[in-house]
């Protein structure tokens, strides 16, 4: 292994790592919002909302992410919806993760004891107040481990958008290898960078979980 | 003066008729204890009062407010039910405290969120209530850090925080270890002495003897017999009441 290659490639790889982190962060934020409202739709009493939520989850969990990326980036232009590579990537990643997150949210809302809702409404809270003040704060704690898992997978899945020419970490590695012919070195460096990013977020989310569990003596 | 009046309350779950036709009036400052074998419908009756279970039919009157059961749910009715709930304090068998909030925050929650009372004012009120139930030194504890008896006393303080017209207790000591039952009953007795109107579903005969103005015996979805605790315990008229009292007292002897 040639260390000078690593040193030369590192600035570009680090820059691409920022793109990867950016993709993951923007996508997870959209996915959280999407997942949250889909979860509410799926536990609501309104049939239409329920059906829409169920179809969305089924579609995006039931098909490969790569196919979703291709449909959005290569397919949609055919009906005159052309998105640039990065928006296409973010759209696919957040729709995909949102479907998974809605399932964790739904399960974690249902996991809060029935007595909690009863206690809240028996005092005279509305359904919305009870959800916001009593149910959701408890379900977030329950959801964190699976949320954490989904986020880790999302970070790794950003590598898939390299196929639509987004210059994130994996795409950048491939470009550098085309010039240096050092696949082992460069891909290993890329792997280490992914590992550092994921470990960083895992530690933060673990701390968050501990913080939200303080009240459980 | 009557505070709460239940008229012709009926409730079934699927084919199972739980409440047949219940009429009950409770006056201001009256303490009514409801007893009866499990499955007799006493908990369901209590839950029907605040629409935790919607009765299939009947009228619930609380103070000046009247809510008819079993009709179509709309915004107006939702508001009516919410108002009814704000005026009734409900104490659950399993306490149902909010585990992510301290004792103090549990008691502040209702006034702050529902009555929109300012935080500082709600806090002062909550402190007063927690002192009253003997938990001045546990205010910053989370429910998981409290014993069952302490949790139930916080739950009573939480129910009182809404300044209800009536307190409803659904087997408040059934989930407690025997040595913790007394501290909860003590708090309830003090409230009764202060003139709080209460309906209590319980098996605690001693509490009924000490605190109840009236004891109601329910079986099979009906009120079988009612009277003063002395009448019911010493001179029950109905066979079912006699049998139940015998079963309960045998249980106590066995323990």
pLDDT tens column, B204-214: 988 999 899 99
Q: For position B39, what pLDDT does the model report?
A: 86
- DSSP three-state, residue B63: coil
Q: Work out the number of other CB atoms within 10 angstroms of the CB of residue B254.
A: 6
Instruction: Confirm whether B82 is domain-assigned.
Output: yes
Q: B221 and B20 in contact (C-beta within 8 Å)?
A: yes
Strand B214-219 and strand B31-35: pairing? parallel
* Angle in degrees, CA A191, A194, A196, rounded to 5: 110
Q: For position B73, what pLDDT does the model report?
A: 83
Distance CA B60, CA B51 (A): 10
Distance CA B90, CA B166 (A): 9
Tens of pLDDT, residues B144-178: 999 999 999 999 999 999 999 999 999 999 999 98
Instruction: Confirm whether B193 is domain-assigned.
Output: yes
Q: What is the CATH number of the domain that holds B232?
A: 3.40.50.300
Mutation target for A interface from B98, B106, B167: give the one with most A CBs within 10 A: B98
Q: Where are the domains of chain A?
A: 3-216
Instruction: Confirm whether B177 is domain-assigned.
Output: yes
**B25 contacts chain A (CB < 8 A):** no
What burial class does residue B235 get, using C-beta atoms within 10 Å of its C-beta: 0-12 exposed, 13-18 middle, 19+ buried?
A: exposed
Tens of pLDDT, residues B20-34: 999 999 999 999 999
Task: Tell me the average pLDDT across B98-115.
Answer: 96
Nearest CA to A67 out of A160, A158, A154 is that of A160
Q: Check whether B251 has a pLDDT greater than 70.
A: no
Q: For position A115, what pLDDT does the model report?
A: 96
Which residues, 6 or more positions from A144, have their beta carbon under 8 angstroms from its beta carbon? A205, A208, A209, A212
Q: B29 and B196 in contact (C-beta within 8 Å)?
A: yes
Strand B65-68 and strand B57-62: pairing? antiparallel
Select the residue of B96, B100, B102 nearest A118 (Cβ to Cβ): B96
Q: DSSP label at A75?
A: I
Mutation target for A interface from B99, B158, B168: give the one with most A CBs within 10 A: B99
Counting one residue from A and one from B, how many pairs have CB atoms under 8 Å apart? 68
Edge to edge, the sheet with strand B31-35 lists B88-91, B166-170, B198-201, B31-35, B214-219, B222-227
Q: For position B252, what pLDDT does the model report?
A: 60
Measured in residues, chain A has a length of 217
How many folded domains does chain B comprise? 1
Tokens 């938990």 locate to: B135
Nearest CA to B222 out of B57, B1, B22 is that of B22
Q: Check whether A125 has a pLDDT greater than 60.
A: yes
Q: Check whether A153 has a pLDDT greater than 60.
A: yes
Pick the CATH number of A3-216 from 3.40.1080.20, 1.10.238.10, 1.10.3720.10, 2.60.40.10: 1.10.3720.10
Instruction: Confirm whether B62 is domain-assigned.
Output: yes
| DSSP line for B113-164 | HTS---HHHHHHHHHHHHHHTT-GGGTT--GGGS-HHHHHHHHHHHHHTT--
**Given pLDDT bands bounded at 50, 70 and 90, which one contains residue A217?**
low
Distance CA B151, CA B130 (A): 11
Q: Are A124 and B86 in contact (CB < 8 Å)?
A: yes
Whole-Å CA distances, A101 to A40, A144, A206, B125, B230: 12, 10, 18, 40, 60
Structural domain for B9, as ranges = 2-92+166-254
**A126 contacts chain B (CB < 8 A):** yes
């Amino acid at each position: 292994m040639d260390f000078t290659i690593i040193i030369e490639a590192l600035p570009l790889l680090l820059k691409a790592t920022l793109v990867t982190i950016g993709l993951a962060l923007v996508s997870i934020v959209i996915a959280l919002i999407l997942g949250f409202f889909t979860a509410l739709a799926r536990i609501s009493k309104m049939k239409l909302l329920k059906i829409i939520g169920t179809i969305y989850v089924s579609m995006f969990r039931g098909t490969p992410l790569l196919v979703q990326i291709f449909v959005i980036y290569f397919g949609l232009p055919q009906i005159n919806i052309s998105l640039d590579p990065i928006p296409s990537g973010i759209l696919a990643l957040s729709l995909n993760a949102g479907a998974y997150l809605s399932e964790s949210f739904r399960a974690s809302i249902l996991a809060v004891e029935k007595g909690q809702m009863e206690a809240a409404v028996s005092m005279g809270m509305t359904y919305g107040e009870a959800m916001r003040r009593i149910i959701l704060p408890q379900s977030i704690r329950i959801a964190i481990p699976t949320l954490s898992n989904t986020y880790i997978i999302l970070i790794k899945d950003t590598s898939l958008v390299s196929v639509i020419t987004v210059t994130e970490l994996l795409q950048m590695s491939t470009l550098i290898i085309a010039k240096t012919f050092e696949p082992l070195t460069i891909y290993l460096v890329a792997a280490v960078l992914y590992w550092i990013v994921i470990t960083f977020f895992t530690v933060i989310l673990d701390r968050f979980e501990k913080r939200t569990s303080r009240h459980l003596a | 003066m009557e505070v709460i009046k239940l008229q012709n309350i009926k409730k079934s779950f699927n084919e199972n008729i739980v409440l047949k036709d219940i009429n009950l009036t409770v006056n201001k400052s009256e303490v009514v204890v409801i007893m009866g074998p499990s499955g007799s419908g006493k908990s369901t009756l209590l839950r029907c009062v605040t629409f935790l279970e919607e009765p299939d039919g009947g009228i619930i009157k609380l103070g000046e407010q009247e809510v008819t059961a079993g009709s179509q749910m709309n915004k107006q009715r939702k508001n009516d039910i919410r108002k009814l709930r704000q005026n009734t304090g409900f104490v659950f068998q399993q306490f149902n405290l909010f585990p992510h909030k301290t004792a103090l925050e549990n008691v502040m929650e209702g006034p702050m969120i529902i009555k929109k009372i300012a935080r500082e004012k709600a806090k002062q009120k909550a402190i007063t209530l927690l002192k009253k139930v003997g938990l001045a030194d546990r205010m910053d504890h989370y429910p998981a850090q409290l014993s069952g008896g302490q949790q139930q006393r916080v739950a009573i303080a939480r129910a009182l925080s809404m300044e209800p017209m009536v307190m409803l207790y659904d087997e408040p000591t059934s989930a407690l270890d025997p040595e913790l039952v007394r501290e909860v009953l003590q708090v309830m007795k003090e409230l009764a002495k202060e003139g709080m109107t209460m309906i209590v579903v319980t098996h605690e005969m001693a509490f009924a003897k000490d605190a109840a103005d009236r004891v109601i015996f329910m079986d099979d979805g009906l009120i079988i017999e009612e009277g003063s605790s002395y009448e019911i315990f010493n001179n029950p008229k109905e066979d079912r009441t006699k049998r139940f009292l015998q079963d309960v007292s045998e249980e106590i002897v066995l323990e």
